[in-house]
Amino acid sequence: MVGSASETSHIKKLTNDPVPDSKPDWSPDGSKIAFQSDRGESADIWVMDTDGSNLTQMTTNLSLDLYSSWGPDSNSIVFYSDRTGNSEIWAIDVDGTNERQITDNPGWDGNPAWGPDGSIAFTSTRSGALKIWIIDADGNNQMQLSTGAGDDDVPSWSPDGRYLVFVSTRSGDQQLWKLDVETGEYSQLTFDAHYERCPPDNFCPNLMSTSWSPAGTKIAYHAYTKESGDIWVMDADGSNKTVVVPGNVNTDYYSPSWSLDGTKIVFQDKIIDIDSEQYGGSDIWLVDLNKKENIPSSYAILSIFGLFMSFIFLSKRRSTTSAGK
Binding residues for Ca ion, rule: CB under 5 A, are: 17, 21, 42, 44, 61, 65, 86, 88, 105, 109, 281, 283
Beta bridge partners of 221: 232
Nearer to Ca ion (CB atom), residue 21 or residue 151 = 21
Q: How far is the CB of 171 from Ca ion (least distance, A)?
A: 28
Do the strands 143-144 and 100-101 form a parallel or antiparallel pair, or are they unpaired? unpaired
Name the residue among 181, 252, 263, 173 with its Cα closest to residue 218: 263
* Cα(268)–Cα(78) distance, integer angstroms: 19
Q: How far is the CB of 81 from Ca ion (least distance, A)?
A: 7
Nearer to Ca ion (CB atom), residue 28 or residue 107 = 107
Q: How far is the CB of 68 from Ca ion (least distance, A)?
A: 12
Nearer to Ca ion (CB atom), residue 48 or residue 295 = 48
Q: How far is the CB of 29 from Ca ion (least distance, A)?
A: 25
Q: How far is the CB of 125 from Ca ion (least distance, A)?
A: 8
* Cα(249)–Cα(294) distance, integer angstroms: 18
Nearer to Ca ion (CB atom), residue 109 or residue 153 = 109
* Cα(279)–Cα(295) distance, integer angstroms: 25
* Cα(251)–Cα(272) distance, integer angstroms: 6
How far from 318 is each of 87, 252, 306, CA to CA, in Å? 38, 18, 21
DSSP class of 2? B
Residue at shortest CB range from Ca ion: 42
Q: How far is the CB of 110 from Ca ion (least distance, A)?
A: 8
Nearer to Ca ion (CB atom), residue 65 or residue 153 = 65
Residue 40 burial (CB count, 10 A) = 16
Beta bridge partners of 223: 230
* Cα(206)–Cα(70) distance, integer angstroms: 17
Q: How far is the CB of 284 from Ca ion (least distance, A)?
A: 8
Q: How far is the CB of 214 from Ca ion (least distance, A)?
A: 27
φ and ψ of 120, to 5 deg: -110, 120
What residues have CB less than 8 Å from 113, skipping those under 6 apart? Answer: 69, 78, 120, 121, 122, 154, 155, 156, 157, 164
Nearer to Ca ion (CB atom), residue 44 or residue 152 = 44
Nearer to Ca ion (CB atom), residue 42 or residue 75 = 42
Nearer to Ca ion (CB atom), residue 229 or residue 281 = 281
